[in-house]
Amino acid sequence: MGFCTDAIHVGQEPDPSTGAVVAPIYQTSTYVQQALGNNKGFDYARTAHPNRKALERTIAKLEGGAAAYVFTSGMAGIDSVLRLLRPGDHAIFSQSVYGGVYRLSTQFLVQFGMEFSFIDTSCVEKVRQALRPSTKMIYVETPTNPTMIVSDIAAIAELVREKKLTMVVDNTFLSPYLQQPLALGAHIVVHSMTKYLNGHSDCVGGAVILARKEDAEKIFFLQRSAGAGLAPMDCFLVSRGIKTLAVRMERHNANGMAVAKFLEAHPKVKRVIYPGLASHPQHAVAKKQQRGFGGMLSFDVGSLEASRSVLNNVKLCSLAESLGGVETLISLPALMTHASIPPDVRLSIGITEGLIRLSIGIEDVEDIIADLDRALAAV
Ligand SMILES: Cc1ncc(COP(=O)(O)O)c(C=O)c1O
């Protein structure tokens, strides 16, 4: 079946006991056993429950994985993946990886003897040069948040195969509709489902999708043992959101491109970073490995004074963290999502105080553009 059909039907079969087209929310902590050890596949909701199983089947199918596990947040899922590392292991991350991943690794995991390097993964040669005998994992975010740097997944996967490493890709910005890292050679995909997979800004969740059964067993062990599996109501919300993923992403693509072109032509904008523009340094790679360019872009207005003015003057665009919802969100990464990164490191990776991030929603694009135009006029 095609992607859109799978997104609507896999894991979402009618409820066998009632015929309900939409599976009920199993809001129960425990399941009765007919006799000792004789249950219907579920015993305690920390370990598993029907809504979680259903969502995990859908996501595994859409990303082309052997298995998927869903967590209470993107960070909870990423934490489980990083627990695959052992003391003494070294991991390479994309330079401007999500701030929470930077914080978790440099402020917490280092105390267990793991080592981390943050490098420009858009250059495979730099990835090769950063390898150490102890390197076990390469963790790529593509495009990166918020600098929209694109890394060549297939090229890094080749290096990973040669060196027998594990490759993780954060696919949050594009969703499996626009990019499928496992098909390009990655071993593990992570998502903040809070974003496009849910798509309606009404739940926090994460997903880990595994190509290899042995990784899947370890992640399932961590999910049920540490207890960060996603609750029934949140699984229901993400399952509902995923049914419209394909149509939402098409609209995000179209609106993203229109807003990028508008901003690129605007005299008050110094730079627009959108992989769909020919001016983007990795436009060719994005075109090769993505089915579309999505709804995320960043643009630089040159100073904190100017960016503050834009943020204070928009009306339709909501000043808020997060991304991937149906509504347009605007943010200032340097002072919001990436504030935990030391200022010198932040600047060295291009996150200036004038850099504004847009998560372009699926409203009428003329309205989004008019709102930005008005706000830029006040700069
Ligand atoms: C690219 C990316 N990965 C991971 C995360 C973490 O996800 P969550 O906030 O659901 O824990 C985020 C959050 O913004 C993100 O943008």
Is the CB of residue 204 below 6 angstroms from any atom belonging to ligand 1? yes
> 102 catalytic, yes or no?
no
- Which stretches in the chain have pLDDT values below 70? none
pLDDT digits (tens, 9 = 90+) for 289-324: 999 999 999 999 999 999 999 999 999 999 999 999
Extract the tokens encoding 76.
Answer: 């909870």
**Catalytic, out of 46, 218, 243, 251:** 46
Is the CB of residue 122 below 6 angstroms from any atom belonging to ligand 1? no
Q: What is the sign, positive or negative, of the torsion defined by CA atoms of 312, 318, 323, 328? A: negative
Contact 316, 363 (CB under 8 A): yes
Amino acid, single-letter form, for residue 201: S
* pTM for this entry: 0.96
Is the CB of residue 74 below 6 angstroms from any atom belonging to ligand 1? yes
Ligand 1, atom 9, residue with closest C-alpha: 74
Domain(s) of CATH 3.90.1150.10: residues in the chain? 245-377
CA distance 177 to 238: 15
pLDDT at residue 337 in the model: 83
> 234 catalytic, yes or no?
no
Is the CB of residue 177 below 6 angstroms from any atom belonging to ligand 1? no
CATH architecture of 13-242: 3-Layer(aba) Sandwich (3.40)
CB atoms within 10 A of CB 225: 10
CATH architecture of 245-377: Alpha-Beta Complex (3.90)
Is the CB of residue 234 below 6 angstroms from any atom belonging to ligand 1? no
Extract the tokens encoding 375.
Answer: 């706000």
Cα 287 to ligand 1 centre (Å): 24
pLDDT at residue 40 in the model: 86
Domain(s) of CATH 3.40.640.10: residues in the chain? 13-242
> 46 catalytic, yes or no?
yes
Cα 15 to ligand 1 centre (Å): 32
> 26 catalytic, yes or no?
no
Q: From edge to edge, which strands make up the β-sheet containing 67-71?
A: 67-71, 206-210, 188-192, 166-170, 135-141, 90-94, 115-119
Q: From edge to edge, which strands make up the β-sheet containing 296-300?
A: 271-273, 296-300, 355-359, 329-331, 318-319
Secondary structure tally for the chain: helices H, strands E: 14, 12
Cα 192 to ligand 1 centre (Å): 5
